[in-house]
Amino acid sequence: MRLEELLQYDSITIQCHDNPDADAIASGFALYWYFQNRGKQVRLVYAGRNRIQKPNLLLMVEKLHIPIEHVEEKGEAQLQAASAAAELLITVDCQYGAGNVTRLPARNVAIIDHHQTEITDVALSEIDPHLGSCSTLVWSMLRDSGCRIEDSKVGTALYYGLYTDTNQFSEIFDPLDMDMRDALPCEKSLITLFRNSNLSLQEMEIAGVAMIRYIYNDDYRYAIIRSQPCDPNILGLISDFLIQVAEVDSCVVYNEIGDGYKFSVRSCIREVQANELASFLAEGIGSGGGHREKAGGFINRALYENVYPTLHSEAFFSQRLNDYFDNCRIIYAGEYEIDLSDMRRYRKKPVHAGYVEAAHILPIGTPVTVRTLEGDVDMTVEEDLIIMIGIRGEVYPNHRENFEKNYTVTGEPYRLSGARPRGKSGVYEPMIHNRATGEVMKLAAHAGSCIAKGGSHIHAKELTERVKVFTAWDEEKYMLGRKGDFLAVRCDDRHDIYVVEREIFFETYTPA
Q: Which residues sit at the interface with Mn ion, rule CB under 5 A?
A: 23, 93, 134, 165
Residue-wise over 486-503: b if at least 16 C-beta within 10 A, else e? bbbbeeeeeebbbbbbee
How far is 494 from 512, CA to CA, in rounded Å?
A: 18
Closest separation in Å from C-beta 57 to Mn ion:
13
CB atoms within 10 A of CB 245: 15
| Per-residue buried b or exposed e for 212-242, using 16+ beta carbons within 10 Å of the residue's own CB | eebbeeeeebbbbbbbeebbbbbbbbbbbbb
Q: Measured between alpha carbons, how far is residue 153 from residues 91, 188, 472 in Å?
A: 21, 11, 49
Nearer to Mn ion, 134 or 252 (CB): 134
- For residue 385, the minimal CB distance to Mn ion (Å) is 39
Amino acid making up residue 52: I
Shortest distance (Å) from residue 290 CB to Mn ion: 16
The residue sitting closest to Mn ion, measured at its beta carbon, is: 23
C-beta of 161 vs 430, nearer to Mn ion: 161
Pick 134 or 235: Cβ nearer Mn ion: 134
Residue among 165 and 177 whose Cβ is closer to Mn ion: 165
Minimum distance from CB of 24 to Mn ion (Å)? Answer: 6
Give the integer Cα–Cα distance in Å for 179 and 189: 21
Output the smallest distance, CB 93 to Mn ion, in A. 4
222, 248 contact by CB (below 8 A): yes
Q: Residues 224, 225, 228, CA angle at the centre, nearest 5°?
A: 155
**Which lies closer to Mn ion via its Cβ, residue 164 or residue 508?**
164
Please, which residue, 165 or 203, has the CB nearer to Mn ion? Answer: 165
Task: Report the candidate in 163, 242, 229, 170 with the shortest Cα–Cα distance to residue 196.
Answer: 163
Report the alpha-carbon angle 325-293-165, nearest 5: 110
- If the CB atoms of residues 160 and 280 are measured against Mn ion, the closer one turns out to be 160
Residue placing its CB nearer to Mn ion in the complex, 134 or 489: 134
Which of residues 21 and 394 has its CB atom nearest to Mn ion in the complex? 21
Beta-carbon count within 10 A of 461 CB? 16
Q: Find the shortest distance in angstroms from Cβ 314 to Mn ion.
A: 26
Min dist CB 324 to Mn ion, Å, is 27
User: CB neighbours (10 Å) of residue 2?
Assistant: 10
SS3 assignment, position 218: coil
Nearer to Mn ion, 134 or 186 (CB): 134
Rounded CA-CA distance 126/320 in Å is: 32
Closest Cα to residue 42, out of 76, 74, 3, 75? 3
Which CB atom, from 112 or from 210, has the smaller least distance to Mn ion? 112
Smaller CB separation from Mn ion, 93 or 501: 93
User: Nearest-CA neighbor of 139 among 427, 425, 445, 404?
Assistant: 425
Element (H, E) at 324: helix 313-326
**What's the distance, CA 294 to chain centroid?**
12
| In the complex, minimum distance from the CB of residue 399 to Mn ion, in angstroms, rounded to a whole number | 42
Please, what is the minimum distance in Å from the beta carbon of residue 27 to Mn ion?
8
Nearest approach in angstroms of CB 244 to Mn ion is: 28
CB of 102 to Mn ion, least distance (A): 17
DSSP string, 242-300: HTTSTT-SEEEEEEEETTEEEEEEEE-STT--HHHHHHHHTTTTEEEEE-SSEEEEEEE
Distance CA 394, CA 378 (A): 14
In degrees and rounded to multiples of 5, residue 194 shows phi and psi of -65, -40
Residue 157 near residue 64 (C-beta atoms within 8 A): yes
Minimum separation from the CB atom of position 132 to Mn ion (A): 8
